[in-house]
């Protein structure tokens, strides 16, 4: 177990949007943020994305999983090679399946392999311990969001919204002393965000994404589809709650619409889902700070702002890097695991008590 001193820790994240691997160095003792270090990104090629997509929903031992694990390990090892002077690394792996209350969770890729290749101790398998104690295993960034709120000097409740393939919302009361203290955090997945938009662009148009939401902005949302989407049982469950990438056959819901109208409808669904999530907050947040790739989608950001009564702004407005917060989060969590500190609690994942996740693989 590491002593409570500031270390340079590398965090890595490969999300459900399949764009690539983010990496960021964080200077931290696992409780406070002392500084931000260099960052990096290793994109997935279209061929690699096809391999990842083909294995979505698969569990260890099923066809395609071994190929994905090798791809994920190789991509991460290539990225790690560009970083020097780190004491520890946090490796999330690539989520292929996530079933809270069911078969569990599956993140492809071995931290032990990365430790061997890189020569750096690697913390990985962050979700299993939480799920064994009845938690959802997600989201895991909230403890880092608490540290960020303190770091930027927030004095009243606020929310962090990550717009990846799925949307994640963390409500934070920075007046509390620790993230596991009662009333400090509430976290939940809001619903689909970028994933249905990107999937539709890939399937119909052969492009990776609707840049800036330009095509969606020319369409008209089908309000009946949005209303039907909001009837999904997920929106009536109390938080904490989490999702995997798949959700209610989103492509089928908009199959009858033109490309522009389909994208406009999926955008409105994502924004409405965020609004539903904010409705669960103990008190309304004074502001919602947005990170993740979705903050670059101007049409999606405008739709979310139209649904909420508070300021909605990218995290860059408070001096943070919205592309790297999830990678930084796994650096922060890795340090907490190394120090034996909790990484989730009842109000973030529904776990029975505050628990530390993750295993450490030595080089």
159 and 125, same domain (yes or no): no
348 HSE (CA, 13 A, CB side): 29
Give how many domains the chain has, as a whole number.
2
117 and 165, same domain (yes or no): no
165 and 304, same domain (yes or no): yes
Q: Tell me which residue of 79, 159, 29 sits closest to 327, measured CA to CA.
A: 79
- Who contacts 148 (Cβ-Cβ below 8 Å, separation ≥6)? 33, 160, 320, 325
User: Stretch 279-304: mean pLDDT, rounded?
Assistant: 97
The CATH number for 180's domain is 3.30.420.40
* Structure confidence by residue, pLDDT tens digits, 195-248: 999 999 999 999 989 999 999 999 999 999 999 999 999 999 999 888 765 577
Report the SS3 class of residue 103.
Answer: coil
User: Stretch 94-100: mean pLDDT, rounded?
Assistant: 87
Q: How far is CA 65 from CA 119, 126, 176, 297, 313, in A?
A: 25, 19, 42, 32, 38
32 and 123, same domain (yes or no): yes
Report the SS3 class of residue 196.
Answer: helix
pLDDT score recorded for residue 164: 87
* Structure confidence by residue, pLDDT tens digits, 28-58: 999 999 999 999 999 999 999 999 999 999 9
Q: Is residue 57 included in any domain, yes or no?
A: yes
Q: Is residue 141 included in any domain, yes or no?
A: no
Longest dimension (CA), the chain: 59
Least confident of 9-23, 152-166, 294-308: 9-23
Q: Is residue 347 included in any domain, yes or no?
A: no
Which residues partner with 191 through β-bridges?
167
Q: Is residue 197 included in any domain, yes or no?
A: yes
265 and 181, same domain (yes or no): yes
pLDDT score recorded for residue 60: 94
CA–CA dist 27, 265 (Å, integer): 41
CA–CA dist 64, 46 (Å, integer): 16
Which residues partner with 172 through β-bridges?
158, 185
305 and 160, same domain (yes or no): yes
Q: How far is CA 218 from CA 15, 86, 302, in A?
A: 28, 47, 14
Q: Is residue 128 included in any domain, yes or no?
A: yes
Which residues partner with 105 through β-bridges?
98
Q: Is the pLDDT of residue 17 over 90?
A: no
- DSSP secondary structure string for all residues of 307-330: H-SSEEEEGGGGT--TTTHHHHHH
Q: Is residue 144 included in any domain, yes or no?
A: no
Q: Is residue 148 included in any domain, yes or no?
A: no
202 and 128, same domain (yes or no): no
45 and 167, same domain (yes or no): no
338 and 203, same domain (yes or no): no
CB 128 within 8 A of CB 357: yes
207 and 129, same domain (yes or no): no
Q: How far is CA 156 from CA 43, 175, 288, 344, 345, in A?
A: 37, 7, 12, 22, 21
Task: Extract the tokens encoding 73.
Answer: 């390990």
Q: Is the pLDDT of residue 3 over 80?
A: no
**Angle at CA of residue 20, ends 131 and 272, nearest 5°:** 65
**What is the distance between the terminal CA atoms of the chain, rounded to a whole angstrom?**
16
96 and 175, same domain (yes or no): no
Phi, psi of 303 (to 5 degrees): -65, -40
Q: Is the pLDDT of residue 2 over 90?
A: no
309 and 180, same domain (yes or no): yes
Residue written as tokens 């997920």? 234
The domain of 250 spans 153-318
Q: Is residue 212 included in any domain, yes or no?
A: yes
CA–CA dist 31, 171 (Å, integer): 18
């Amino acid at each position: 177990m590491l002593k409570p001193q500031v270390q340079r820790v590398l965090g890595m994240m490969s999300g459900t949007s399949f764009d690539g691997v983010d990496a960021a160095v964080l200077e931290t003792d696992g409780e406070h943020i002392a500084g931000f270090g260099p960052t990096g990104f290793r994109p997935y090629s279209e061929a690699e994305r096809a391999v990842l997509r083909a294995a979505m929903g698969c569990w260890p031992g099923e066809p395609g999983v071994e190929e994905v694990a090798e791809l994920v390990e190789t991509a991460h090892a290539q990225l790690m090679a560009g970083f020097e002077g780190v004491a520890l690394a946090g490796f999330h792996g690539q989520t292929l399946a996530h079933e809270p209350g069911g078969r569990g969770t599956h993140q492809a890729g071995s931290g032990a392999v990365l430790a061997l290749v890189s020569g750096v101790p690697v913390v990985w398998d962050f979700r299993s311990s939480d799920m064994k104690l009845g938690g959802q295993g997600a989201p895991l960034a909230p403890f880092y969001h608490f540290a960020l709120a303190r770091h930027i000097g927030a004095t009243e409740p606020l929310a962090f919204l990550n717009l990846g393939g799925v949307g994640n919302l963390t409500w934070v009361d920075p007046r509390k002393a620790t993230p596991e203290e009662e009333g400090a955090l509430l976290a939940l997945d809001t619903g689909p965000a970028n994933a249905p938009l990107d999937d539709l662009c890939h399937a119909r148009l052969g492009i990776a994404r609707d840049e800036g939401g330009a095509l969606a902005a020319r369409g008209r949302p089908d309000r009946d589809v949005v209303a039907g989407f909001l009837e999904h049982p997920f929106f009536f469950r109390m938080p904490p709650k989490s999702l995997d990438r798949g959700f209610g056959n989103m492509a089928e819901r908009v199959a009858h619409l033109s490309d522009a109208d389909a994208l406009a409808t999926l955008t409105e669904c994502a924004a409405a889902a965020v609004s539903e999530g904010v409705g669960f907050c103990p008190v309304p947040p004074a502001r919602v700070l947005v990170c993740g790739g979705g903050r670059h989608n101007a049409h999606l950001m405008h739709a979310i702002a139209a649904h909420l009564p508070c300021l909605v702004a990218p995290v860059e407005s408070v001096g943070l890097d919205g592309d790297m917060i999830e990678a930084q989060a796994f650096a922060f969590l890795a340090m907490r695991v190394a120090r034996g500190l909790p990484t989730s609690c009842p109000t973030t994942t529904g776990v029975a008590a505050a628990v530390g996740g993750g295993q450490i693989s030595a080089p």
